[in-house]
Structure 1
């Protein structure tokens, strides 16, 4: 007899077991990035904050809000954006402060002289009188253009010249002898070469209500002590005697023009020197 079966135990199947085949796997889709507007805002705020920090470091004297901008690196997104906005306001102030500096204005004596010379040169080039660019002083004293005993008179006013007459008075003197301004005035010409006059300085003055021009020519190269636009006083050194231009020997060729008309320098000096 077979022993009684225990009905509580499951019967073992007599069929052969099949090997489990791997289930077909479904390819996974790549995870799509989640669009987060706040992330862009945070990134923008951080970039602006870093830019503001760099500006504050590069321009410490012009960026008074640099410390507050630097503190935004540890702040929230909204605080970073607010501080970034402040940094841009600071930049606008910096531009406003720099802009006027770009408009050159003379402040030192050298800059003032250079500016005056450019202004005078521009006025003269446009055919305008010197008085339109500088205030010509009124002369109250006239002196000889060279010290007594340092020269001798040679060719005078009206002496014959090829095709014309001599328009000035020559003061013969050794090269290097000092030449002085005959009276107060302002320089309208200062050049190393002026036609046959060579190195020449011309000074505009006002005396006895008349516009008077005095010219100093045949001076030595490199000795001009005044430039266009400079104002001089009677007896002020302006250069040295030379032999430049069309001249025989060394001398100062001195001319006087009243209202643009040449006059005899010796007669004029005799009348005014005192």
Structure 2
């Protein structure tokens, strides 16, 4: 009868004697089920890194799917013209686009432009005053030296503007025949003194006063009437009074010249009474003394 050498897993240890010695035999545990369990544990541990790699790949693909098309749509095509920072900002008025080469600049209040009507008016007034001051300064610096103590002969309210002169028929006041000539031309050598025909206030003292060249206009009141007298074609630097100056009858105001629309040295003299032009020679003959 053959012996059964395989013991059950739960067989208790038996002691066997061999010639005076004893050996304890321990039953062997089943190994095959353990091996299968170890195999399952190995497969589970190996599958975890694989799943992590798959998940990361899916996330990266999702990012590429969303971000890359949007970035590509924003980029200009290779054949498109270069776009400036100003053109980028045109589509959105609320955008602020600053060029990479922009530099900080310090500004002072004095460099700002006027932004209100009051500031603009004030600025214009200041500029006009500065221009008048510059003109007056330039006139004073270029003014011809003359004896200002000279006065026209006579004692009446009206004096002759030039005391020694000549004239021809063409120099007379005849508007119907010569509408472009509203005065009386008194021919005299260059530098001959010109006097105020009447006391008054200087309204115009200007170089380049239209075709009159260097000219002066004086407003006077004579016999209750407003009388304006004009003296044209003076020599450059020959004006001796400025705008706003008060002059007396017979006071020296300038020197004969040929500036403006002139072909010879003379004093072009005009007279307006209450805004109406009159014959200057007839007016002088009737009133000068």
Return the TM-score normalized by structure 2: 0.45
Return the TM-score normalized by structure 1: 0.47
